[in-house]
Amino acid sequence: MGNVMSEFQTQIDRYFRVKLLHEAAQAAINMKCSESLLFGKMTLLHYRMFGGEDSGIYKAAAAVEMMILALDIIDDIQDEDHADMPWCQMPKEIALNLALGFLSLSQEVLMDSDMPDEHARSIAALFNNQLLAAINGQTLDLLNEMETEEDYLIMVRQKSAALLVCACMTGVILATGSADQRVAEYAEEIGIAAQIKNDYRDLLNWEGKNDFIRRKRTLPLLFLLAEIGENDRWIAEYFAGGLEPEDVLHRFAEFGEAVERTGTQLYTSVRMRSHYYRFLDVINRMELDSKWRDLIIEAAM
């Protein structure tokens, strides 16, 4: 992924001219370097898997990662978490400008690439569509009004899965000139499975952001609330706003027991794995070079 990061560097050196903004961008991409860059990796893998051979793909992968970085910054500002991230340690107004800068830069990098005009237009349209889907999903998440699992899945498909679909499909379109709905289908399944996994982690993570304490309507919490017995009524009471965080923060062990007793862990695991198996089912039915297919499966894990 070194080529993708050097593309990042070139672009911020070129466009972020104000010293403070450049420093903020530099801190953000340094942080990016230490992460997996899953989205850009998916763009590259799909491009190669569908026969693409041009080195111009690195610009497209960088554009995808810039968009993801912009959305990560905005998400952290909205959720007020991940205090260790560099953009959370700068004034909000600067962090917002940084996010806007990366979002615009992702489009600029696409338009400035050597790809055929027709492909560039298709990718720009894809970016805009998936970004708008993600913004709608993020708004549903912020409103936190999900009543059912169906509501939750509608939100996750837009908020999380749409971006993974964007990353994968960018590679496919650049390699072949057209979208492949099977890729959209399995990328969505990976995105949903990954979100369920994150939501389970944030259910039991009592140290950092905890979805129960924040009263987030996630799949595991919706299940837990539907299954708790009389002895665990305090969980529902807190969730409904009848108790304060200080009333429940010391009850982590009890909360964990309720999660286990109600089968929340079991249920969440099965739901997550079902989506993962749907992804495998779709990708295994495609006639793909097994080397690339295995790399996609490995990246998705």
Partner 1 sequence: MLQEIIRKLVQEPGSLMQLQSGQLQLAGMSALEERALMDVMNSRDKDHGQTLLREMYWC
Question: In Å, what is the CA distance from 277 to each residue of 98, 176, 193, 269?
Answer: 38, 27, 10, 12
One symbol per residue from 254 to 293: x for binding partner 1 (CB under 8 A), - otherwise; what is it? --x--xxxxx-xxxxxxxxxx-xxx--x------------
CB of 46 to partner 1, least distance (A): 20
Question: In Å, what is the CA distance from 104 to each residue of 25, 54, 97, 224?
Answer: 13, 24, 10, 41
The residue among 87 and 279 lying less far from partner 1, judged by its C-beta, is 279
**Binding residue for partner 1, selected from 48, 197, 209, 214, defined by CB under 8 A:** 197
CB of 284 to partner 1, least distance (A): 12
The residue among 19 and 250 lying less far from partner 1, judged by its C-beta, is 250
CB of 156 to partner 1, least distance (A): 16
User: Which alpha helices (H) appear in the chain, and where do they start and end?
Assistant: 2-15, 19-33, 38-49, 57-79, 92-111, 117-143, 149-156, 162-176, 181-204, 219-227, 233-239, 245-248, 252-261, 264-285, 290-300
Q: Under the criterion CB under 8 A, does residue 227 sit at the interface with partner 1? A: yes
The residue among 56 and 263 lying less far from partner 1, judged by its C-beta, is 263
- Residue 273 neighbours by CB under 8 Å, 6+ apart: 193
Rg (CA), the chain: 20
CB of 136 to partner 1, least distance (A): 27
**Binding residue for partner 1, selected from 27, 77, 179, 204, defined by CB under 8 A:** 204
Q: Under the criterion CB under 8 A, does residue 301 sit at the interface with partner 1? A: yes
> Is the CB of residue 24 less than 8 Å from the CB of residue 98?
yes
* Alpha-carbon 78 to chain mean position: 15
Q: Other CB atoms closer than 10 Å to residue 30's CB: what's the count? A: 11
The residue among 138 and 265 lying less far from partner 1, judged by its C-beta, is 265
Binding part of the chain for partner 1, among 29-37, 135-143, 164-172, 252-260 by CB under 8 A, reads: 252-260
The residue among 106 and 262 lying less far from partner 1, judged by its C-beta, is 262
Binding site for partner 1 (CB under 8 A): 197, 200-201, 204, 223, 226-227, 256, 259-263, 265-274, 276-278, 281, 301
